[in-house]
Amino acid sequence: MAEGGTTLEYTPTWVVAVVCSVIVFISLAVERILHFIGKYLKKKNQKPLFEALQKIKAELMLLGFISLLLTVFQGRIAKICIPKDMANQWLPCQEKKDQTVTHIQTLFSSFLPHGTGRHLLAEASGTASYCTAKGKVPLLSTTALHHLHIFIFVLAVVHVTFCALTILFGSTKIHQWKSWEDYAKNMEYDPEGVVRTKITQVQEHDFIRNRFLGFGKNSELLGWVYSFFKQFYGSVTKSDYITLRLGFIMTHCRGNPKFNFHNYMMRALEADFKKVVGISWYLWAFVVIFLLLNFVGWHTYFWIAFIPFILLLAVGTKLEHIITQLAQEVAERHVAVEGELVVQPSDNHFWFNRPRLILRLIHIILFQNSFELAFFFWIWLQYGFQSCMMGQVRFIIPRLVIGVFVQFVCSYSTLPLYAFVTQMGSSYKKAIFEEHIREGLVGWARKAKKNNKGNAVKRSANRSGQVGPKEESPLVLEMVEAYGKESAV
């Protein structure tokens, strides 16, 4: 036992101290980095990004809990024995005839560090002997359990990293629209007066010419085809931005024609980031299903690469087609309009009248793509490029090409389209208010509600002509009360 050094009883104390110190130091360094990032985001009043950071911490805690369970119960799991016939079914690789059960249990152990390999090999042999005495084989060997442990860690890290990169690149694309926002704010949009003195010929408007003529009215199918290809080049144009921006302002904040729509989009996107960076329960269910179906001959990971690919194309096409529908509605109803051309946002343009469904699909796209690429890198680093689990080259290359394509298009086209087009729903997002404004409104709402309640004496005095507290709009009070509840939660 002293030669193998398998337990702390026969391990030098300085080795234990050094290894423990390194692990603790790395853990504390990561914790401090996340802490300082959180303080910086709070200082910059970036609450949505701060909440996304908290979501990442929660995912890391979940990952740590999974790791703890795998470590604590690995011995017991390895001692669960099953019949040999069951162990030879649904294998990811075709077993050679000269392979034995022991070989299966110690497969790929040479890829592990030297000491770790001996330790896992010894444990695997011990569990194999335990089950062999019963005429059975282990449910999952210690080596295989260790590899599964690494895969879960790689999957979580790759998903969080890819989501962060997607948001970063998508935000960079949206930032390029800032010049359009400045141009639109310099235009005098007077919703009640000035614009009505102007007559706009609908068919001559840039937005209608680009989005409607020849597509919406004449052929519905042609409109969908146009929307499909439009997502790959010039997905949002200047006329699209200015027209849809005006439609949003006239619907949700009519009294503020110079409303900063660009900042609103960025805040809303930051608020959505915390939803896509996590791994929901149904995504873990997908992982389990795909691991189950990964047996020899099915090329499962080749076919699942098409799931995010198809979803991405469908979402991008739908978002583009919504813009076309908005143009079609105006063009079919009017020949000319007083003032500027204004579109009417509505949830009816979205699948099942739910704009938020698009975000869930983007979440699935990002996770599925992360899962595909994480599995590839894990197999490559753990078992080597020639592993049977990697598959044939004619299946590997398309998977990688699709993965890179999905990541690029989702970052530079689909995500900016989502941030822009989903504002064309019937309601706006609560991110429309800055956090400090929201806090002020909550306090103001409480005072206004107290004043509006009053008592019989004050109401009588008001009827007598005395000046009393001003009643606030019920809609405003309801809206601010909702924000107050959200802040309390």
CA distance linking residue 408 with residue 280, whole number of Å: 23
pLDDT tens-digit readout, 207-233:
777 777 555 455 778 888 888 988 888
Q: Extract the tokens encoding 202.
A: 């609908």
> Could you give the 3-state DSSP secondary structure of residue 106?
coil
Tens digit of each residue's pLDDT (9 = 90 or more) over 334-374: 766 766 777 888 888 888 888 889 989 998 998 888 888 88
Query: Which is more confident, 110 or 53?
Result: 53
> 57-66, 301-310, 444-453, 480-489: which has the minimum mean pLDDT?
480-489
DSSP-derived letter for residue 335 is S
Cβ atoms within 10 A of the Cβ of 154, count? 18
With cut-offs at 50, 70 and 90, classify the pLDDT of residue 121.
very low
pLDDT given at position 469: 44
pLDDT of residue 116 exceeding 50? no
Could you state, in order of their start, the residue ranges of all structural domains in the chain?
81-139, 154-429, 435-488
Q: Please give the average per-residue pLDDT across 37-59, as a whole number.
A: 78
pLDDT at 401 over 70: yes
Sequence-distant (≥ 6) Cβ neighbours of residue 149 within 8 angstroms = 67, 70, 71
pLDDT tens digit sequence for 282-300: 888 888 888 888 777 677 7
Residue 189 scores a pLDDT above 80: no
Is the pLDDT score of 252 beyond 60?
A: yes
Separation of alpha carbons 484 and 489, rounded Å: 9
Radius of gyration for the alpha carbons in the chain, expressed in angstroms and rounded = 30
104 Cβ contact partners less than 8 Å away, ≥ 6 residues apart = 87, 95, 137, 141
For the chain, what is the mean pLDDT? 75
∠100-102-5 over CA atoms, to 5°? 155
Residue 468 has pLDDT above 50, yes or no: no
Q: What per-residue confidence (pLDDT) applies to 445? A: 61
